[in-house]
Structure 1
């Protein structure tokens, strides 16, 4: 790793180690179920379900003729082995020699921290304005030579113009969602249309899809079509309690938002980790078993580097997203407004392509399907992939890139393009 900055991930590292430790303690032999067991104090409070589970384990051990104290020792050893595997995986990741070094495309337009990157294409290429999320780096769509949706589209007949939002600084720390849509995004669209010489296809990924949806409602004339990839709409469609729990973190985060003007990356990562507390540890245990020279290990490291190199979120946007989207479900209720106007997917008459990945844990399919139900005539595509795997996984070319390119090329030609 000479000459390269040391890795900080998985971020926040202290939280992931604490979650692993908490899992270890929670998975230990239930307290007090047998004399001589290595366990917490028998006075430790347990739920009725916990007491029933302890009784079931005790009965199963007795039926099999197993000594409870030996079972407790075996459990402890297994938990220690899991912890050791996690640490090996994290160290293997942090020491891995890979670092992304793809050449950056030309920058054709800038405003504040944002840039418009030109991925080129053939002379007859279909221009495409690509809008990623505000909370992750845009290069997830250009991760590796073999995992670059944008370079694939450029080679196949499109001309992707990627809006790289950049890190919010200065005035951007005070941006609301209205500021982003009616200001930065509308001007990026005007720049893209000027570069292309005519209307463009608008493609939004995840949160970028919501921003693109609002833009398409406000400025349909410069657009030839609208592609929405894993775009949420009904934030409480599948798990209302989870959505409300995210919103409930806002008062806790408020002092941080007021002090910094942004929701920092580690806080964002902690919110994501809370949705699947054991998921990070499990994937690093698996990584520790891979051949570090294998393509699988290389792709894992590239993805983790992207995840851990996140982007802070402007404080007003964090409040709107957590409190409005998750807490009040404003999009699905028709109450999400940009510049005072409710965003209504039914009002958009552009040709639409909606990719709803079947295994998405970030944007549950039910949330995105609610949007598809509001857009009559939109082509709904279900990649057999997850939220990230759909755009950068080993099967992404088959599951999304090719169907998306076919849809783009089938759109009616625009005059002068």
Structure 2
């Protein structure tokens, strides 16, 4: 046991002193409201608005020069290969909640902030766009697409949970129960702080930190693999707090009561029902996902009429930045975005 602890501490110490810093800057901001910014990457191509989770920074999709899905789609390449091209990506960066945003509900985020960003994006490109959501962002994007179908030409869900009880209802309800010990903090601060969010993730795999830092300690600190590890770990540690009302809706409503899977989740009094989406849709379900159980994400593919469903043997974050992501996700996604199939009414 002692050698395991030593290996872990060695990895942590090497991470703390590693010189890597993010080697790219954010794309230009073309619109901002409060803490939320709309970033535009590329001047031509089929427009796609990417919507990340509220609890992590959006730059996981633009992590580094070698590991940027968005820059590759825009044709800007990275590393030792040329970019895919043909896509004009926009990224919604939620930012850190400011004082007023700590009072936001999910309806404020989706029917307000996200829909307005969608309107701005469509005005810039002169027509509807594809709306792509990653993780929790997939649910937010679906809510916006159903409210403004005139602005959405296609929809993509990437590792997005839908039926929270499909895999293990008891485990989901245990997650929901964590709202109780955090409630006094949320009442005091108006938000679930970053440490609370990190605690929720830690319960999914309590030994993850031990395993990953022990492995990092064995890497060549001057190599690309170590740089990639630090880039990802820095992103993971750059978390975002969650407004209290939204945290309660996610924990009690989504995990506890399974409101999306039961058809009872509502945004501004409108039910969010994927069966009503008429545009082409793609659902990507990472088969090795430990954050969103694959069964929870597959349920969205079943509910969306005529959806294309992919089940790559990748993990939740690996589908975006792993060594196999370019061949198994980036390139097929680029092709689908350029030539989406006809929608259910096509």
TM range (shorter): over 0.9
* TM-score of the superposed pair, with normalisation by structure 1: 0.79
Preserved contact between residue 224 and residue 411 of structure 1 (Cα < 8 Å): no
Q: Secondary structure at 2:48's aligned position in 1?
A: strand
Give the corresponding residue for 1:113.
35
Q: What pairs with 1:47-62 in structure 2 (closer than 5 Å)?
A: none
Residue number in structure 1 paired with 2:54? 134
Say if 2:291 is the partner of 1:369. no
| Match 2:330 to one of 401, 408, 413 | 401
CA shift, 1:103, in A, is: 2.3
> Is residue 290–residue 297 contact of structure 1 (8 Å, CA) maintained in 2?
yes
- Whether the 8 Å CA contact 2:10–2:217 is kept in 1: the answer is yes
SS at match of 1:405: helix
Deviations 1:152-176 (A, max 9, x none): 1111111011110011112110111
Shift of 1:412: 7.8
Decide which of 22, 39, 43 is 1:100's aligned counterpart: 22
Partner residue of 2:181 out of 215, 236, 252: 252
After superposition, the C-alpha distances for 1:254-313 in whole angstroms (9 at most, x for unaligned) are: 001011111111111111111211111111111111111121111111100000010111
**What's the TM-score, normalizing by structure 2?**
0.94
SS of alignment partner, residue 217 of structure 1: helix
Deviation readout 1:88-111 (Å, 9 max, x if unpaired): 011011110101030221110000
Which residue in the other structure is 2:248 paired with? 319
**Alignment root-mean-square deviation, CA:** 1.1
Cα distance in structure 1, aligned partners of 2:66 and 2:314: 17
* Alignment match, 1:170: 99
> Structure 2 matches for 1:260-271, cutoff 5 A?
260-271=189-200
Checking the alignment, whether the CA contact within 8 Å between 1:207 and 1:231 is kept in structure 2 is yes
SS, match of residue 130 in structure 1? strand
- The 2-side partners of 1:279 and 1:303 are apart by 14
In the other structure, the counterpart of 1:355 is 284
Aligned residues: 333
**Structure 1 match to 2:80:** none
Moved over 2 A (4+): none
Structure 1 stretches lacking a partner, 5+ long: 1-78
- Give the Cα–Cα distance (whole angstroms) in 2 for the partners of residues 342 and 97 of structure 1: 48
Which residue of structure 1 aligns with residue 73 of structure 2?
153
Structure number with larger C-alpha Rg: 1
Post-superposition CA distance 1:16-39 (Å, at most 9, x none) = xxxxxxxxxxxxxxxxxxxxxxxx
Match of 2:162 in 1: 233
For 1:178 and 1:410, the matched residues in 2 are separated by 32
Q: Secondary structure at the match of 1:234?
A: coil
Contact 1:147 1:394 in 2 (8 A): no
